[in-house]
Amino acid sequence: MIIVLKQGANEVEIQEIKERLVQEGFKVHFSQGVERTIIGAVGDQSRLKELDLEALPWVEKVVPILAPYKLVSREFQPADTVIKIGEHEIGGAQIHVMAGPCSVESRSQILETAHAVREAGATFLRGGAFKPRTSPYAFQGLEEEGLKLLAEAREETGLAIITEVVDVRDVKLVASYADILQIGARNMQNFNLLKEVAKIDKPVLLKRGPSATLEEWMMAAEYILNGGNNQVMFCERGIRTFENYTRNTLDLSMVPALHALSHLPVIVDPSHGTGRWQLVAPMAKAAIAAGADGLIVEVHPQPDKALSDGKQSLTLPNFQEMMTELDRIARAIERPILKEGER
């Protein structure tokens, strides 16, 4: 349930209500709006009657949240979550483009890509260091060496870094290098991993499972918020359908659906969402038009030589061209993507 306090409720009053809730076994979360405080209380709703919160003079109303997700819901927090990472804000006015190879393969590959995507206007460098693949015989990633190369690229270019963590045992290690931790589609319901990233003070990008419903996906995010980390962004990356021309079916309807139901930012991955580089720019444009707060796109200096996902990777010139096209759409919806000098 959410408890909306009257305007001007003071600290002592807020604390008193918190204590009452905790005594009754509720887990309490605060959402401090500009005008008023909202308290989210998760627990046994049947205790509600006894608490008789509406009798308190500084309580405006008590509203049960009927959906199974609570903390991620718009009801709990009406204002958009804006995630601050250095000078960047995800979920704010600017659209962010995260770009880079599927996997970090070598020093020259990641540095060349980093310089090119930064030049084109990307603000984050992506690259997988831990790559469990469909086949156990395929390239599995450079692991910590890959994280070090990403950190070197950040040092050289100023780009922030997003990389995937796949194992509970690696969360601290990956968090010590990355600016955003990526939870991959296949791990969306790895609840132990979700609980572990909930404990760290780094933003998390939560990809949609290949066959997850919207509600399952939101419940996965709920795990992370409930565990204490509210810096979470969703990432639509396509779902498994009967269509096999594309690798996945990019479900762009999730962008406005998530914005309606949740306050968390939404990122779109048109690379895994289509599996074909020719479809990436058109779907990236559509994603921005649909209201996405950012994109994550695979880019490789030589896609035909890539150790993973070459078929869906843009070349450096193709990425540059896509950014110019995206800028037109971004400006039309008054959400800048490139700064004046980059245009």
> Which residue ranges make up the site for ligand PEP (CB under 6 A)?
102, 128, 184-186, 207, 237, 272
Q: Which is nearer to Mn ion, 38 or 97 (CB)?
A: 97
Binder to Mn ion among 17, 102, 142, 287 (CB under 5 A)? 102
What's the min distance (Å) between Cβ of 126 and Mn ion? Answer: 9
Q: Which is nearer to ligand PEP, 237 or 259 (CB)?
A: 237
**Where do we find the tokens 């910590």?**
144
207 binds, among Mn ion, ligand PEP, none (CB under 5 to 8 A by kind): ligand PEP
What's the min distance (Å) between Cβ of 208 and ligand PEP? Answer: 8
Q: Which is nearer to Mn ion, 133 or 195 (CB)?
A: 133
What's the min distance (Å) between Cβ of 281 and ligand PEP? Answer: 18
What's the min distance (Å) between Cβ of 163 and ligand PEP? Answer: 9
CA 336/CA 338 separation, integer angstroms:
6
Residue least distant from ligand PEP (Cβ): 184
E runs forming strands in the chain? 2-5, 27-32, 37-42, 59-63, 83-85, 88-90, 96-100, 124-126, 160-164, 180-183, 204-207, 232-236, 266-268, 294-298
**Where do we find the tokens 């979470």?**
232
Residue least distant from Mn ion (Cβ): 102
Q: Which is nearer to ligand PEP, 162 or 198 (CB)?
A: 162
Report the chain's C-alpha Rg in angstroms: 21
Give the pair of three-digit tokens for residue 110. Answer: 């990641």
Residue type, 136: P
309 in contact with Mn ion (CB under 5 A): yes
* DSSP alpha helix (H) spans, 52-183: 107-120, 144-157, 171-177
222 in contact with Mn ion (CB under 5 A): no
Provide the 3-class DSSP secondary structure of residue 53.
helix
Task: Produce one character per residue of 30-39: b if its CB has 16 or more CB atoms within 10 Å, e if not.
Answer: ebeeeeebbb
Q: How many chain residues are in contact with Mn ion, going by CB under 5 A?
A: 2
Q: Which is nearer to ligand PEP, 58 or 139 (CB)?
A: 139
What's the min distance (Å) between Cβ of 118 and Mn ion? Answer: 20
> Strand pairing of 83-85 and 88-90?
antiparallel
What's the min distance (Å) between Cβ of 128 and ligand PEP? Answer: 5
Binding site for Mn ion (CB under 5 A): 102, 309
